[in-house]
Chains A and B, each alone.
Chain A
Amino acid sequence: MTTRIVELRRGILKKNDELAAGLRGRFTSAGVLVLNLVSSPGTGKTAFLERTLRELRARGAQAAALVGDLETDNDARRLAASGAPVRQINTHGICHLDAEMIGKHLEGWEQVSLAGLDYLFIENVGNLVCPSSYDLGERIRVVLLSVTEGEDKPLKYPGLFNSADAAVITKIDIAGPCGFDRELALHNINEIRPGIRIFETSAKSGAGIDDWLDYLAAQAKPS
């Protein structure tokens, strides 16, 4: 018997990374800004996205959404009420979206041509662990945190918070009754992802939504 060591130096998720790079190329040449929204279940991703889609439409922008969930198309139906094209991705137990699922669901999506879009939002499965490893070809990864969740969430899930490009605090209309410590939350996010852009929002009252939309518009401009 001979023993041989073969150096591979190969990413475990190389296949996903390659597919994601392909998607990113397509998104860039189509001129569409793609965002990957990640949070725990119950943070309010869908309500936040509903409001975002509605307001973008009012501003005359073209936006669409892909929505990941383990089961049901409830979220897609909620989001479709905004008038934007929405497609549900059911992962049937898989705890994250991957680049292959995104590619598949872009195929045959008759309402949508990438070139005609300004924004494509991908609402990931509610989970703060697994989505951190899977690149979906997005330009901006957005992590959401609600005032009901506890200010130490960034410290508990540093892998995801550290990989995000923007952070959104949701449900600030109920921050008072929840005893939300705003300073501590901002401090914790900044300790894990120094310098990250943070938006404090309420999908219900509309607080902070204009800032968020201005940020989106600035990011969407061809550099």
Chain B
Amino acid sequence: MRTSATSQSYPRRSILQKETRSVHELSIAASIVESVTESAAAYPRARVKEVRLRVGALASIVEDSLQFCWGLATEGSPLAGAALVIHMLPVIVHCDACGAETEIAGVQSFRCPKCGELTADLRQGRELEIESIELEEPDPASPDPVEERV
């Protein structure tokens, strides 16, 4: 009961909390928009349908927050409506002691899963990159419906 009373008194509370938590993801989303807009400029007739990311488990990105911020960051931009696909990558370490290159579960301990030795040699996990974008272009032969509308 108390919970519903609180949420009635502060109807925007959950939205505000989400925005506060997402300051980091918002600046990351803004950087993606800037970067993709630049790359897509080479295809002036195309619309960006999808943006695909590779994000390492150590990149300090919360997937839900980034999706939420993506909506905010693309609003009113040429990327409005484009989907964001986030491919999360686990940490992979190389072990000097036994030579194995192995994926570790989680990010709470940097030990080789094969032999248990600590290792600082990271081979994957810090990625924060745009892998590819999917563009939708009108066929060259047909008139451009986008331009007609404008």
Contact = CB atoms under 8 A, between A and B. Distances in A.
Interface string A3-45: 1111111111111100000000000000000000000000000
Given A8-B39, A12-B35, A159-B59, A2 B128 contact: no
- Chain A interface size range: 35 or more
B134 interface: yes
B129 to A, nearest CB: 5
A6 B31 contact: no
B58 A159 contact: yes
Contact of B129 (A3, A11, A159, A160): A11
A12 B31 contact: yes
A208 interface: no
Interface residues of B, number: 39
Contacts of A194: 110, 118-120
B64 interface: no
Interface string B22-50: 01100110011011100100010010010
B32 A12 contact: yes
Interface stretch (A60-68, A81-89, A126-134, A213-221): A126-134
Contacts of A4: 43, 46, 134-137
A2 B49 CA distance: 11
A6 B137 CA distance: 12
Given A133-B128, A194-B120, A13 B135 contact: no
Given A2-B138, A12-B129, 9 more contacts: A1-B136, A5-B133, A5-B134, A9-B130, A10-B129, A12-B28, A93-B23, A130-B23, A195-B118
